[in-house]
Chains A and B, each alone.
Chain A
Amino acid sequence: MTTEIVGGAALAPPTAIGGRRSARLRQLAPFLPAMVIIVGLFVVPLALMFVFSFWSTNENLDVVPVWTLENYQNFFTNPTYVRTLFKTMVIGAGVTVVCLVVAFVVAYFLSRYVSRRWARIALLIIIVPFWTSYLLRVYSWQAILGEHGALNQVLVGLGILREPSLLFVYNDFGTFIVLAYLYIPFAALVLYASLERFDFTQLTAAQDLGAGPVAAFRRVLLPQIRPGLITACIFVFIPILGEFLTPSMVGGAQGLLIANLLANFFKTALIPEGAAVGFLIAAFVTALLIVFRRYLRVEDVVVRG
């Protein structure tokens, strides 16, 4: 039985087309749950959103199925949306870089210099914040960065500031700091999984063969942990494009990102207008994933993790 499944179509008699087909179907069967999830929860909603984005809303807030490009025109002719999308991408890219750097240092140290037992304990500590709610973690940053927050109290106490500063929160800086905090654990876990499998004697060997530390790092280590780096980028950058809660809680009126503008449409039942902005973000994310996919071979993930 096992042989038949593994061998599949190759072992079936050439004339038994039906058997070959059923063997192929059996091979595809394990993908069915994933297919259902992707089609049902991604492709269909995206298609619906795409259709809605070409419709409009009347004064009764009814969706009117009359085809129009107006929603997309509004997006591209109103510089605010393009600017806000660009700003979101810049913040997302900046946060991704910070997360990768911090996470890399932590993961490198843990995988190279710390015993596996202690590394696991350290990783547990890194993921402990996930045991509390996202909302609570963001609220706690309001308490840390706020005018009467811990940071201001320390800085005023040390005499670095004469009076509490309003610059730490309710602006882009506050959004940046909190997003970096929220996403560093994702990057750290992924990078640790990559670095844990890396044989560090290769770095020594490279240096024995005349490579400097930077060259060894760049030409030996980086290529081997590339899947981990790309996966970390995906885990950090893409969710930030849709971040709504953090900017609305610590970004204030000056630190809104594109998802906050998008939410304003849905809050007022302007569904087609929101769908157009949402679809553009989704299209951008999909394009980005395709680009990442070019640099991420499946076997890299499977073999190297």
Chain B
Amino acid sequence: MNRLDNQLSRRRFLQASAAVGAAVSLGGITAACNAIGQPAVQGGTFNWMTWGDHYIDTQLKAIEASDKIVPQISELAGNAEGFAKLKEVKGELDQMSGDALWVPDAYFAEGLIEPFDINELKVSSQLYPFARQFEIWTKPEGYLGYPFGWSPISIYYNVEHVTPAPDSWAVLLDPKYKGRIVIENQPEEIVAYMGKASGVDDVYNMTDDQLATVKGLLEQLKPNVLKFAQQATDSVNAMISEEAWLITGNLGNEDRVKDGGGPEIKGFIPKEGTVGWMDAEMIVKEGKNKSLLFPFMEKSQQAEYIAENFITHGRPLFNEAAYKILVDKGEGDRADRYLYNKAEETLAKTTLKGPGTSTEKSIQLFNEVFGA
């Protein structure tokens, strides 16, 4: 290519770029004018950071069709990460999901969320009465979140390969199961499980001595762990393929494995106690689209959707009216097996997830054991 060609092509390139730029600008201006000219429509969009099992697509589409409210969802990986994110972006989010003690001790304590009168939401009458009065979420300013789902962390085992039937965290440390355990990739929770195994009650606020004991258990656990699951479905799939004989997870995995064509598995809550979670939808204090949240919750928390959510995701929720729908639909047995209507007594036996004083040391400990 000679110099003349170069110049010509450059000129052409500039001309083409200018034309494209002008067209795009014109299009943008036209679109903006159209938007300004249109009458205001009911509804709108809001930003919601949540876990993938807090909604189902059909539910969102139905709400969009009826109320024109569309949540723009960003995936929530974990409580600490979500909390750090909200502190950073504040009013760019409108609704946030959070677990148990993270709600009062982190989000509320930092002034990031706005308490509200839960009884103002008509749909809240569908909740179990105790779910409207959780002490940890009750403040003089109002209720801190709209209760959604809950579960204790259980251990699931393949009944053919894991014998005798275990009842303790100790099964995870048994050398018989080398390379046969899959645990979700949440370092602070894995340390908490081993805390429970060692008999510690307050596993998110462990002393150095307790952490030293936990380190020994983590070292026993390491050779048994095949892999860390990035999400709950990875654990379920490992059970289905029988790569894993033991997994940790929420209530409901027996059916998920069975539905996937996997072997018979059973779950149990370890006798030493376990960690539990109960989550809620919080209203972000500085959210710019807060006005959409009550109308959205009125629709999205209706029993029909919650029952559908239970059938899809298989862990209990706080909506009592949904339980009745499940019974009517012939899903009552499944709901009972997953302790759907026993939230209060089950959660009382667990250590609820929350921020703790030993988080940093737990991570250091986990890295120390699972690094090279």
Please, which residues of chain A bring their CB within 8 A of the CB of B355? 59-61
Q: Which of A8-16, A40-48, A177-185, A264-272 contacts B (4 or more CB under 8 A)?
A: A264-272
Please, which residues of chain B bring their CB within 8 A of the CB of A59? 355-357, 359
- B243 interfacial contact with A, CB 8 Å: yes
Q: When the two chains form their complex, are residues B227 and A170 in contact, meaning their CB atoms are under 8 A apart?
A: yes
Q: When the two chains form their complex, are residues A249 and B230 in contact, meaning their CB atoms are under 8 A apart?
A: yes
- A154 interfacial contact with B, CB 8 Å: no
Of residues 221 to 253 in B, which have CB atoms within 8 Å of A's CB atoms? 222-223, 225-228, 230, 241-243
Question: In this complex, what residue of B is CB-closest to A86?
Answer: B372
Known: A61-B84, A148-B243, A248-B185. A253 touches B227 (CB 8 A): yes
Known: A253-B225, A267-B80, A269-B80. A60 touches B359 (CB 8 A): no
Instruction: For chain B, give the interface size range.
Output: 35 or more
> How far does the alpha carbon of A74 sit from the alpha carbon of B368 in the complex, in Å?
11
> How far does the alpha carbon of A265 sit from the alpha carbon of B78 in the complex, in Å?
12
Q: When the two chains form their complex, are residues A166 and B110 in contact, meaning their CB atoms are under 8 A apart?
A: no
Please, which residues of chain A bring their CB within 8 A of the CB of B110? 60
Q: When the two chains form their complex, are residues B372 and A87 in contact, meaning their CB atoms are under 8 A apart?
A: yes
> How far does the alpha carbon of A60 sit from the alpha carbon of B78 in the complex, in Å?
15
Question: In this complex, what residue of A is CB-closest to B110?
Answer: A60
Determine how close the nearest CB of chain B comes to the CB of A248; give it in whole angstroms: 7
Known: A170-B226, A267-B187, A270-B359. A261 touches B78 (CB 8 A): no
> How far does the alpha carbon of A87 sit from the alpha carbon of B241 in the complex, in Å?
31
Determine how close the nearest CB of chain A comes to the CB of B24; give it in whole angstroms: 19
Determine how close the nearest CB of chain B comes to the CB of A194; give it in whole angstroms: 23
Known: A61-B84, A148-B241, A253-B222. A264 touches B359 (CB 8 A): no
Please, which residues of chain B bring their CB within 8 A of the CB of A57? 360
Q: When the two chains form their complex, are residues B371 and A83 in contact, meaning their CB atoms are under 8 A apart?
A: yes
Binary interface profile of A, 167-182, with partner B (CB < 8 Å = 1, else 0)? 0001000000000000
Q: When the two chains form their complex, are residues A269 and B81 in contact, meaning their CB atoms are under 8 A apart?
A: yes
- A186 interfacial contact with B, CB 8 Å: no
- A228 interfacial contact with B, CB 8 Å: no
Binary interface profile of B, 63-81, with partner A (CB < 8 Å = 1, else 0)? 0000000000000011011
Of residues 246 to 276 in A, which have CB atoms within 8 Å of B's CB atoms? 248-249, 251-254, 256, 261, 264-271, 273
- A78 interfacial contact with B, CB 8 Å: yes
> How far does the alpha carbon of A248 sit from the alpha carbon of B229 in the complex, in Å?
8
- A81 interfacial contact with B, CB 8 Å: yes
Of the residues A86, A266, A268, contact of B188 by C-beta under 8 Å = A268
Please, which residues of chain A bring their CB within 8 A of the CB of B81? 266-269
Q: When the two chains form their complex, are residues A166 and B179 in contact, meaning their CB atoms are under 8 A apart?
A: yes
- B364 interfacial contact with A, CB 8 Å: yes
Binary interface profile of B, 1-42, with partner A (CB < 8 Å = 1, else 0)? 000000100000000000000000000000000000000000
- A84 interfacial contact with B, CB 8 Å: yes
> How far does the alpha carbon of A51 sit from the alpha carbon of B58 in the complex, in Å?
46
Q: When the two chains form their complex, are residues A253 and B187 in contact, meaning their CB atoms are under 8 A apart?
A: no
- A92 interfacial contact with B, CB 8 Å: no
Please, which residues of chain A bring their CB within 8 A of the CB of B109? 60
> How far does the alpha carbon of A80 sit from the alpha carbon of B109 in the complex, in Å?
35
- A146 interfacial contact with B, CB 8 Å: yes
Question: In this complex, what residue of A is CB-closest to B77?
Answer: A267
Please, which residues of chain A bring their CB within 8 A of the CB of B185? 248
> How far does the alpha carbon of A74 sit from the alpha carbon of B364 in the complex, in Å?
9
Given contacts A84-B371, A147-B243, 16 further A-B contacts (CB under 8 A): A59-B357, A60-B109, A61-B84, A80-B372, A87-B372, A148-B243, A166-B179, A254-B222, A254-B223, A261-B367, A264-B363, A269-B80, A269-B83, A270-B360, A270-B363, A271-B84
Could you list 27 examples of A-B contacts with CB < 8 Å? A59-B355, A61-B83, A78-B368, A80-B367, A83-B371, A86-B372, A87-B372, A146-B243, A148-B243, A170-B226, A248-B185, A252-B179, A252-B225, A253-B226, A253-B227, A254-B222, A261-B370, A261-B371, A264-B366, A265-B363, A267-B77, A267-B81, A268-B187, A269-B80, A269-B83, A269-B84, A273-B363
Q: Give residues in A with beta carbon < 8 Å to B.
A: 2, 57, 59-62, 74, 78, 80-81, 83-84, 86-87, 146-148, 166, 170, 248-249, 251-254, 256, 261, 264-271, 273
